[in-house]
Amino acid sequence: MNRLLLGACALRFLDSFVLIAPFYTVMFAEQGLTPGRIGVILASWSAVCLVLEVPCGVLADRVSRRWLLAIAQFVRCLGFVVWLAFPGFWGFLVGLMLWGLKSATLSGAFEAALFDELKALGRETEYVRVLGRAQSARFAGLLTAALLAAPLASLGYPTLIGGSILAGVAAGASALLLPKAPRAVVGSGWNTLRHLGRGLREAASLPGIPALLAFIATTQAVVSALADYWQIFGQQVGLPKPAIALFVAALAASGVLAAAVAHRLRGLPTLALCLMIAVAGGCVVAAALTWRPWSVMLPVIYVALFWLVDVNADARFHHRLQAETRATVASVKGFVMQGGTVILMLAFGLVAEAASYRAAFLASGVVAALIGLGFFAAGLRRRPASGG
């Protein structure tokens, strides 16, 4: 158990220890890219995830998840090398697409590896706590990277990208140190299409899964679409470059704390989680309406609320899945999320180019609030029939 927790936390810490993370959209803007082109680049990351999410999940139910997680890290390192060699639209596009390949592999494989190892130990009830710790380690990596990036910003973007490559190599090595859980699928009777079909049927029919999948995927889509734009938010409201890194660090710290204590809210009804998402969206709306340097406090609250919800919703999701198709169904969730993210990222870029970044943030906050309120209303309608 200790090896699993340490390995999972090490992987998530190093995976997010990316020194260029607080600045890469600012870097795109400083290279002269318009909001529309930045939107296309960011959407390409999600488009790759959209195409590869489910195939990677199916693959993770068949082959070594540790090796998949390791190879994915090395692929992202290659993307950073492309950024160094070709610092323009096409180089940024290819590099972020390789980053998307890493993300598509990580999402389903990591969650499935974690849950199945706990199940092999007879401790699957601790998934929400272990996942929360792993997510805290993820944000701790981002926090540490952002704090280091603030004083290193003066050395230039190549230095930050080089440090990110080293961290990616270390993350790949840490993936190989994870315990080896029993493989989900064994034997020679494997049929990829049949397995995928089973996973899709379970995603659509297991009790409670369709609603949970839709809720998690849509809320994650909004958060993912905004995540890369917070750097530009800091720039637009007047923060100097070192302060932008500290703002990103504050967002990460908020995620660390929220993910670490999320398991304490495991008893909250799903309706309460929906309302928390609505409040989180309201924070983004308020940040766009005020649009001052101090407004950066509101996205910090938004991030905390999201992770309190996401960790608990994800735990409920995994407890209802079958072991043999866990990574596949988790990747279906990721597929839906990435589809929404592509649309929202492109829409954000188009709104920002046609109007302003401020208008794009305002619209995103409204969308998040409506998602929370929509699922709350749907839950109220189901409640009499399901007993809550």
Mean pLDDT of 13-35: 92
| pTM given for the model | 0.75
182-211 pLDDT tens trace:
554 444 444 555 655 665 666 666 666 788
Distance from C-alpha of 17 to C-alpha of 146, rounded to nearest angstrom = 8
Distance from C-alpha of 174 to C-alpha of 203, rounded to nearest angstrom = 31
Are the C-beta atoms of residues 244 and 22 closer than 8 Å to each other? yes
Q: What is the pLDDT of residue 280?
A: 96
Amino acid letter for position 64: S
Q: What is the pLDDT of residue 196?
A: 57
Banded model confidence at residue 45, pLDDT cuts 50, 70, 90: confident
Mean pLDDT of 260-280: 88
**Looking at per-residue confidence, does 121 or 152 come out higher?**
152
User: The domain 2-181+192-386 belongs to what CATH superfamily?
Assistant: MFS general substrate transporter like domains (1.20.1250.20)
DSSP string, 273-341: HHHHHHHHHHHHHHHHHH-SGGGGHHHHHHHHHHHHHHHHHHHHHHHTS-GGGHHHHHHHHHHHHHHHH
Q: What is the pLDDT of residue 190?
A: 47
Q: What is the pLDDT of residue 201?
A: 67
Distance from C-alpha of 359 to C-alpha of 376, rounded to nearest angstrom = 26
Tokens of 317: 């999701």
Banded model confidence at residue 148, pLDDT cuts 50, 70, 90: very high
- Which of 170-179, 236-245, 294-303, 323-332 has the weakest average pLDDT? 323-332
DSSP string, 218-275: HHHHHHHHHHTTHHHHHHHTT--HHHHHHHHHHHHHHHHHHHHHGGGGTTS-HHHHHH
Average pLDDT in the chain: 84
78-117 pLDDT tens trace:
999 999 999 999 999 999 999 988 988 886 678 777 777 8
Are the C-beta atoms of residues 306 and 219 closer than 8 Å to each other? yes
Domain definitions of the chain by residue range: 2-181+192-386
Distance from C-alpha of 204 to C-alpha of 370, rounded to nearest angstrom = 24
Amino acid letter for position 194: R
**Looking at per-residue confidence, does 290 or 242 come out higher?**
290
Q: What is the pLDDT of residue 261?
A: 85
